[in-house]
Structure 1
Amino acid sequence: MSLIEQIDKDKLPQHVAVIMDGNGRWAKEKGKLRVFGHQNGVVAVRDTVEGAVELGIKYLTLYAFSTENWNRPKLEVMALMELLVSTISKETKTLMDNGVRLNAIGNLSSLPEKCRKQLIETIKKTALNTNCTLTLALSYSSRWEITDAAKRIAVKVRDGELKAEEITEDIFGSHLNTAGIPDPELMIRTSGEHRISNYLLWQIAYAELYFTSKLWPDFRRQDLFEAVLDYQKRERRFGMTSEQLN
């Protein structure tokens, strides 16, 4: 029986978040520049997105570029931005063919104009697709997102649009970049690292964490299927006991 045949389609995680790690190490192992790893990581993205659609996962969020990544060598950052522009442009047809809607979160105003323009264009073009929502976290960090939400809530309280005692988890969540998107039930990180790296800290409060030693350029839909199978073997108690669930 194949991996996908073992998966219970009635118990899929609605939202899967991924930290795509290991591009640089993958390239280094092959004696190449880091950008070579990023280029090959695009293949992993395409196959993972198509795998998510094949399974029926409705939301897939990929950590593409963190706010901390701006501190990398200038040439690498420039290459990443150029790669991002060309990839979004080239993959628009793939998104359309698979019924995938593109979305983005993060401090998008910090992206180069060319990159931001291509991103917005593809977001508009794919807006009516309904099979899966692919969210790219770009110039993103969770602490930045939470701080930004707190600032916007504070302004509303100052201006009398909201009372402090009215602030709830739902109100706070509605001011995050991911407003309107269900929280991830499964978070995958590649490359063998066991860190969250400032990614969706509010949203993954109850997510199942799955770590694989596979470097991102080698990740394929079969690896996604394995992660989902592992997820389905776990008992999600949300603070309750097994007896209560049963």
Structure 2
Amino acid sequence: MIDFHSHILPGIDDGSRNLEQSIYMVNEAKNVGFTKIISTSHYMENYYECNEQERKRLLKEVQDSVDGIELYLGNEIYITNNMIDLLKNGQASSINNTRYVLFEFPLINTKPMNDKEVIYRLIENGYIPIIAHPERYPFVQENPDYLFELEEMGALFQANFGSIIGMYGGKAKKTLKILLKNNLISFFGSDVHKPEQVYNKIPKIIKKLKKVISDEEFIEFTEINPQKVLNNEDIIK
């Protein structure tokens, strides 16, 4: 399996606090069947602004401290009109230096005013937008059909593993099931921030997920599609 969304780099966002925690988390992932992890540290202007060069250094430090699992660089970028500039000047990173960009909306009741503008500009500049954990946003929970509009524009969606067992509440769990039923999810990620938070629950999560999706879909979301992103290949919905 490939973990598409994680906060394993030490000391740069609200995830891992130090190298020891990072190593622990990565080994947790390996022990439950992950072979690759995409590191998607937060990038938020004026708050989390660790640049790409420093994140590469930290990623190498963690990678050199573990065996049997591969780590890749990315970001979870907080939605901003400056996203293209951040990507082009090396502040924020696409996933593994590909066309694919993971970003998040605010966890509030109303959708951002610039949602479609940001998606349009990303696509116009050759990027493929991936929206993180849509099932967690209150405005998606109230109107899941909203995502069809973004999908039509070319956006893809990544769900959190923990949503299926209610880690983010009943509404997120219910919404995830709706999104899966409507074929709106392309990837799953742990969104892990600390040790013993998600990875230790993965066996239970897999059992729950496989009651909702087929084995083939599970492989598609956790292996095939993430690998296509790492290879900068197209994902055909």
Which TM-score band (shorter chain)?
0.3 to 0.5
TM-score with structure 2 setting the length:
0.40
Report the structure number with the largest CA radius of gyration: 1
Query: TM-score, with normalisation over the residues of structure 1?
Result: 0.39
